[in-house]
């Protein structure tokens, strides 16, 4: 939802910051890698129960993810390798953060609730996989209620108070599953549409020499 409806306005806001970061010496790959470090720190804070600290670290993690794209554009170094690196690191960050949640629930002797973050992780990876697979087939698969930015915001809400941590995780699970199912249905419907016919270019009549065959040459009569 965020990526689809607010992307242009966000890009307009973050572009000047991206240019400033380039001027002071930051690179997109550096921001992506350091964002993973902050994600690991956030997961540690969640796991040991320092949830208010985890909120601050989660904001820093999101900031790194928000500005690596504008930095790549401002430095004219946007590339397939950078996009691939960013996508892989995002998946690792998601797994690390939800792993911290799972560890916290285990340490609190919540028993089977440890499966809750695992379910969120599974649905999250399905959302990402459906997009990558659909785009490899030439189909659009963006959008949805609970994309990565929305998931990070809702996780931050869960960390605000111990009493709401588990209920908000349940809400996150339900909304993430709904997003995965909705994305599957949209791609399924798009893929069922008949492909437009391919227009064939008119054939030209060529001789064996490869030159265009012309009509009989008229000779001047004397």
User: pLDDT tens across 146-162, in order?
Assistant: 888 899 999 999 999 99
Domain range for 171:
2-192
Considering the domain boundaries, does residue 222 fall inside one? Answer: no
Q: Please indicate, yes or no, whether the overall pTM of this predicted structure exceeds 0.85.
A: no
Tell me the CATH number at 34: 1.20.120.1760
Strand partners, 31: none
Token pair 């008949």 is found at: 194
Considering the domain boundaries, does residue 208 fall inside one? Answer: no
Helix axes 148-158, 162-192, angle to 10 degrees: 160
100-117 residue pLDDT tens:
999 999 998 888 899 999
Of 88, 11, 97, 85, which Cα lies nearest the Cα of 47? 97
Classified as helix, coil or strand, 153 is: helix
- 38 pLDDT band (50/70/90 cuts)? very high
Rg (CA), the chain: 26
Considering the domain boundaries, does residue 45 fall inside one? Answer: yes
CB-based contact 185:132 (threshold 8 Å)? no
Q: Please give the mean pLDDT across all residues of the chain.
A: 84
Alpha helices in the chain (DSSP H): 2-5, 7-23, 28-47, 51-74, 80-107, 115-136, 148-158, 162-192
CB-based contact 90:148 (threshold 8 Å)? yes
For the question of residue 3 being annotated catalytic, the response is no
Output the pLDDT for position 220: 45
- Catalytic residue, chosen from 3, 29, 90, 94, is 90
Considering the domain boundaries, does residue 51 fall inside one? Answer: yes
Considering the domain boundaries, does residue 140 fall inside one? Answer: yes
- 200 pLDDT band (50/70/90 cuts)? low
d(CA 52, CA 164): 13
Output the pLDDT for position 218: 47
Considering the domain boundaries, does residue 135 fall inside one? Answer: yes
Considering the domain boundaries, does residue 172 fall inside one? Answer: yes
Considering the domain boundaries, does residue 129 fall inside one? Answer: yes
- 78 pLDDT band (50/70/90 cuts)? confident
Q: How many domains does the chain have?
A: 1
């Amino acid at each position: 939802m965020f990526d689809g409806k607010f992307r242009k306005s966000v890009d307009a806001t973050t572009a000047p910051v991206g240019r400033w970061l380039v001027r002071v010496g930051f690179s997109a790959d550096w921001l992506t890698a350091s964002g993973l470090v902050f994600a690991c720190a956030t997961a540690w804070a969640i796991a040991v129960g320092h949830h208010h600290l985890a909120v601050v670290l989660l904001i820093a993690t999101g900031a790194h993810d928000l500005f690596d794209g504008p930095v790549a554009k401002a430095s004219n170094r946007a590339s397939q390798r950078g996009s691939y690196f960013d996508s892989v690191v995002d998946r690792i960050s998601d797994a690390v953060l939800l792993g911290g949640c799972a560890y916290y629930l285990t340490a609190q002797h919540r028993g089977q609730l440890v499966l809750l973050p695992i379910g969120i992780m599974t649905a999250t990876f399905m959302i990402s996989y459906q997009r990558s697979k659909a785009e490899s087939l030439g189909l659009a698969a963006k959008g949805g209620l609970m994309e990565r930015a929305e998931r990070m915001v809702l996780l931050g809400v869960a960390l605000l108070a111990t009493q709401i941590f588990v209920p908000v995780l349940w809400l996150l699970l339900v909304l993430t599953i709904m997003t995965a199912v909705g994305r599957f249905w949209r791609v399924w419907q798009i893929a069922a549409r008949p492909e437009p016919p391919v227009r064939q270019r008119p054939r030209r009549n060529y001789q064996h020499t490869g030159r265009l065959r012309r009509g009989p040459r008229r000779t001047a009569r004397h």
